[in-house]
Structure 1
Amino acid sequence: MDFLLLEWIGKPVWMWLGFLTIVFALLAFDLGVLHKEDKEMGISESLWLSAFYIGFAILYGGAIWWAYEAGLITTADDTHAGITYFTGFFIEKALSIDNVFVISLIFTFFAIPRKYQYRALVWGIVAVIVLRGLMIGIGAALVQEYSWVLYIFGAFLIATGIKMLVVPESDPDMSKNPVVRFFKKHMRVTDELHDQKFFVRKPDPTTGRLVVWATPLFLALVVINIADLIFAVDSVPAIFAITTDTFIVYTANIMAILGLRALYFALAAMVHRFHYLKYALALVLVFIGGKIFWNQIFGKVDPAISLGVTLAMIAGGIFYSLWKTRDDPQEKEKVA
């Protein structure tokens, strides 16, 4: 069992295995117990399940904080593990709200009923665990080998934030999505759903032999995960700008995404009310990107200040959005 004490990407193997065990246990309980039967998730259940995931993520962050204060763990860059975990968690959580709108468009395009959507989202987390791990691993290797890469991350975050402030939003056209077109061209895809199945065996129209066909639910799953990778291009550099400790970056990312899938059904119904959050997130990206340059020129910014500013901006964007849209006709129709 000595291998458990070996270091892998800056932390003992047992820490990585422990975290992944927790994540897969949560997924197994969610998918195998809470949602063993495919059913439509209501807003109330969505909020309760999301509260559970957020509460668990906060408890986990509290454990990280305690372990750091007790001297049981250290970070690769001498930052406060607890503070940087929570900063990364809240940034990823807020940035993921934009992802909800895209996921909603994908499900609508493929005509996926709500009762099958949650299963697709949970299975998508398994792919996210691997794909985010690869992205973060590559990012960590680049930062460790070439420290100046952080300046590129900082400049990219500032440019992305400014772009979000000045470029108007537009709805993506899923019918022109290159991923959708590629899979439909190179795979057998059924025109209709087959319950919760991603693949089915059907006769080939030419030969009559039974062959494997992908279903629209599988295509939706693939496109959702490609979209997540695109969103990760913003969120991963944002967390690396806070800390270069790979374990903190990865765990904060995954904990934020776990709860997002549960929160999707509540947010999808009211995502239009978070319009102004986009501008708060843009300011957060500019702030985090600018902090990299500030740290090198004037010295490190206190992590507690970074967490406070980040939370203030995100909370301000959420509350201002809800206040500005309080007279939204769509909300009045729901009440009526």
Structure 2
Amino acid sequence: MSVPLWLWIATVGGLLALIALDLVIVDRKPHEVTTGEAARWVVFYIAVAIAFGVGVWVFAGHDFGVQFFTGYITEYSLSVDNLFIFMIIMTSFKVPAIHQHRVLLIGILLALAMRSVFIAVGAALIAQFVWVFFLFGAVLVWTAVSMVRNKDEEEEYEENALTRWVRKLFPVTEEWHGHKSFVKKDGKRWITPMFLVIVAIGSADLLFAVDSIPAIFGITQEAF
């Protein structure tokens, strides 16, 4: 599949524009997202993905179109499980309802950033070493076995090493300060629970990518 530079730029630029629009709407008036509003956003983003997939199908051919939609459905399915973990983290940090949309959106941005790096590295490795496929397969098998073993355990959030390290490195305020991540108290810089929950979600998403990226490479090796 030949993808010119301008198409890469247009695709990434369009994605950033969508997220910027979402952030502008959130920043304009932080509020608790209703079920109806959430449903409309879901329908909108799914429609954008379908339009993109149709474009791939039309301009790149049937095979790449099928690969895109198969990959999209697979990653969407995996993201549902990730979302539940995000909700557990936000409940643990007592994120106010009016800020949950913003926290999730930042989590999505972190996910996109990390997956972009992993996809680029994965594509380069696959191009050079065939055995990487076996490594990816082993990761998926290990993930599946871990899920079966832990299926009866209750989901409880325990802060990981990175989150605990941040707590030790910076003083954390007890109260929330809107959506601010840093505040000054008594001439000293403090981090807020907003910053800490972003660290928690970002580090959790790093682990999610471990099974997500091998899964998508099992479907297509086309980086675009």
Give the TM-score taking structure 1 as reference length: 0.62
The whole-number CA distance in structure 1 between the counterparts of 2:26 and 2:199 is 24
- The one-letter code of the counterpart of 1:158 is V
CA distance 1:169–1:11, shift in 2 (3 Å): farther
SS of the aligned residue for 1:201 comes to strand
Match of 1:156 in 2: 139
Residue number among 90, 101, 108 corresponding to 2:91 in the alignment: 108
1:89 aligns with 2:81: no
Secondary structure (helix, strand or coil) at the match of 2:12 reads helix
Question: Contact between 2:26 and 2:101, CA under 8 Å: does it hold in 1?
Answer: no
In structure 2, runs of 5+ residues without a counterpart are none
Q: Distance in 1 between matches of 2:52 and 2:196?
A: 34
CA contact (8 A) 1:92 1:235 kept: yes
One-letter amino acid of the counterpart of residue 135, structure 2: I
Q: Do structure 1's residue 128 and structure 2's residue 105 form an aligned pair?
A: no
- Determine which structure has more spread, i.e. the larger CA radius of gyration: 1
* 1:245 alignment partner AA: E
Question: Partner residue of 1:56?
Answer: 48
Paired amino acid for 2:51: L
Aligned amino acid, residue 212 of structure 1? R
2:191 alignment partner in structure 1: 214
Q: Measure, in 2, the Cα distance between the counterparts of 1:154 and 1:83.
A: 21
Matched, 1:232 2:215: no
2:12 aligned to which of 20, 35, 44 = 20
Per the alignment, in what secondary structure is the counterpart of residue 45 of structure 1? helix
- What secondary structure sits across from 2:28 in the alignment? coil
The 5 A counterparts of 1:60-79 are 60-69=52-61
- Say which of 28, 32, 40 aligns to 1:40: 32
Shift of 1:28: 1.6
Change (3 A) 1:20 1:147: same
What is the distance in 1 between the residues matched to 2:155 and 2:124?
A: 33
- Structure 2 CA distance for aligned equivalents of residues 168 and 174 of structure 1: 15
Alpha carbons 1:193, 1:217 under 8 Å: kept: yes
CA contact (8 A) 2:114 2:206 kept: yes
SS state at 1:200 partner: strand
- The aligned counterpart of 1:147 is 130
Question: Could you tell me how far 1:158 is from its partner in structure 2?
Answer: 3.1
**Paired amino acid for 2:57:** W
TM-score (norm 2): 0.91
Determine the structure 1 residue equivalent to 2:63.
80
Provide the rounded CA distance (Å) in 1 between the counterparts of 2:207 and 2:184. Answer: 32
Map of 1:246 onto structure 2? 223
Which residue type is aligned with residue 200 of structure 2? V
Equivalent pair of 1:189/1:214 in contact (CA under 8 Å): yes
CA gap 1:176/1:162 in 2 versus in 1, 3 angstroms: closer
CA contact (8 A) 1:38 1:196 kept: no
**2:146 is equivalent to residue 189 of structure 1:** no
Aligned to 1:306: none
- CA RMSD of the aligned region, Å? 2.0
- 2:43, 2:123 → 1: CA distance? 31
Cα distance, 1:123 vs structure 2: 2.4
Which portions of structure 1, spanning 4 or more consecutive aligned residues, are displaced by more than 3 angstroms?
171-176
